[in-house]
Structure 1
Amino acid sequence: MDKFTQLTGVAAPLRLMNVDTDMIIPARYLKTIKRTGLGEGLFAALRFNGDGSEKPDFVLNRPAYKGARIIIAGDNFGCGSSREHAPWALADYGIRCVIAPSFADIFFNNCFKNGVLPIVLPQPVIDRLMDAADNGANATFTVDLDAQTIHLPDGGSVPFEVEPFRRQCLLNGWDDIGLTLRNAGEIDGFEAAQRATQPWLWAS
């Protein structure tokens, strides 16, 4: 998993509540178990017409936000089914941070496991960030995970909290497999001892 230390990029204001995982990545894209290529389907129903043409009014289709790295969203982001493809699609598109008043629990957990930082902030602060994000290409935010601070285009800043263990995992790029491999020496030692004392468990 890629490390998340500091992210600077345009923030797109997505003024919608209850954005569910089917809106984030429709079910027809779930046939793959690869984490690449899913960015094409991100917010497909919101981004594209039936003929595949772009809907010009959707925020990520506006020229100023096509390279957005951050989304400012409404309440209950990521609700619905527990598809891990949702954070995969966000990351593949290039979005590494979503800021909202609240998230669905499973989506929230899946984000941390896949290198996407979900930040929970009170609604008045979200309103302030939405207003700043309305400035289009000038809406460049910096999310500093180490300092737990969001730096705004106007020079102001907003603090945020992340559970310490999850913060360390993102800062170091540790997913579940990475965490396990940190103990590779101990695992190898255990297996070697078990081979010596219980060889029948290793017989082929």
Structure 2
Amino acid sequence: MAKPFAISGTAAPLPLNNLDTDQIMPKQFLLGIDKSGLAKGVLYDLRYDEDGQPREGFVLNQPQYADAKILVAGSNFGCGSSREHAVWGLQQAGFEAVIAPSYGEIFYFNSTNNRLLVVTLPLDQVEALVAELENSSDKRVVIDVDNEVVVSPSGKRYEFSLPTRQKQMLVEGLDMVSMTLRDADRIAAFEVEHARARPWCGIDLPAQQHR
């Protein structure tokens, strides 16, 4: 039996609509050739002023959200450019999940491919969750992935659904490559049959597969 999978921890409310990937990960943090060091850039212009000082009123600068693992966001979260660094930066900053009414399409699939859980809930439910987080001393939210339920600090339950592939990747700890490699034998068999059935395509098979 698979081990139950859930994400639980402090949830930070950030109900800003149309928060794009340029804001999630500004361009000045995209100068490296690897994925490292991106946590500093997450929502930088919202977190810091022109002098590089923390903005006191910004949610992630408040001590009660310092260890946030879940971001509760506004509609169309992650719209804009396709930069995958936005996902990597959120993960490096400690976020394991985002809850929002809707997402930019490319950001959504970048997230699923990198195992950042993106939960879609109706707008009224997201607004209720945000209000609860803002008005309660308890900031802990549980995302029960197996049963596809979000549990608020007061115990309210919000159902969501996940595509089968995304759910499997999360529960089994697979990224896009490792998920694909599970079908390596089927892919190889298809290549052999395709080459034999369509020799005019000029596909070369390994020597042992010509027999």
What TM-score, normalized by structure 2, do the two folds share?
Answer: 0.84
SS of the equivalent of 1:138 reads coil
Q: Which residue of 2 aligns with 1:195?
A: 207
What secondary structure is seen at the aligned counterpart in 1 of 2:31? coil
Could you tell me how far apart the structure 2 residues matched to 1:73 and 1:156 are?
18
* C-alpha distance in structure 1 between counterparts of 2:145 and 2:64, whole Å: 25
Residue 197 (structure 2) aligns with: none
CA deviation vs aligned residue, 1:143-168 (integer Å, no higher than 9, x gap): 11111011111122111111112111
- Max radius of gyration: which structure? 2
The equivalences for 1:28-47 within 5 A come to 28-47=28-47
Q: How many residues align?
A: 195
Q: Can you list the C-alpha shifts for 1:94-114, whole angstroms capped at 9, x where unaligned?
A: 111111111010000000011
Structure 1 residues 66-107: Cα deviation after superposition (integer angstroms, max 9, x where no partner): 111111111110010000001101100011111111101000
In 1, Cα distance between the equivalents of 2:74 and 2:91? 19
Q: How does 1:96-135 map to 2 (within 5 A)?
A: 96-135=96-135
The amino acid across from 1:194 in the alignment is P
Q: Distance in 2 between matches of 1:164 and 1:196?
A: 36
Structure 1, unpaired ranges of 5+: 199-204
Q: Give, in whole Å, the separation in 2 of the partners of 1:43 and 1:137.
A: 24
Contact map agreement 1:97 1:118 (CA 8 A) in 2? yes
CA displacement at 1:184 relative to structure 2: 5.0
Partner of 2:170: 170
Mapped partners of 1:4, 1:25: distance in 2: 32
Kept in 1, the 8 Å contact 2:4–2:146? The answer is no
Moved over 3 A (4+): 183-191, 195-198
Kept in 1, the 8 Å contact 2:49–2:55? The answer is yes
Alignment partner, residue 92 of structure 2: 92
SS of match in other structure, 1:82: coil
Separation of aligned partners in 2, 1:145 and 1:33: 33
Task: Quote the offset at 1:4 in angstroms.
Answer: 9.8
CA RMSD of aligned residues (A): 2.3
CA shift, 1:120, in A, is: 1.1
Displacement of 1:186 in angstroms is 6.3
1:146 maps to what in 2? 146
- Give the 5 Å matches for 1:51-90: 51-90=51-90
For 1:41-74, what per-residue CA distance to the aligned partner results, in whole angstroms no more than 9, with x for missing partners? Answer: 1000001122221111110000001111111111
Q: Deviations over 1:100-153 (max 9, x none)?
A: 111010000000011111111111101111012214651100111111011111
CA distance in 2, matches of 1:133, 1:93: 20
Looking at structure 1, the residues matched to 53 and 109 of structure 2 have their Cα atoms a distance apart, in angstroms, of 33
- CA displacement, residues 155-201 of structure 1 (integer Å, 9 cap, x when unaligned): 2211111111211112112222112332456678989x713357xxx
CA shift at 1:37, angstroms? 1.7
**Amino acid across the alignment from 2:114:** N
Higher relative contact order (CA 8 A, sep 6+): 1
Residue 39 of structure 1: how far off its partner (Å): 0.8
Question: What's the TM-score, normalizing by structure 1?
Answer: 0.87
> SS in structure 2 opposite 1:86?
helix
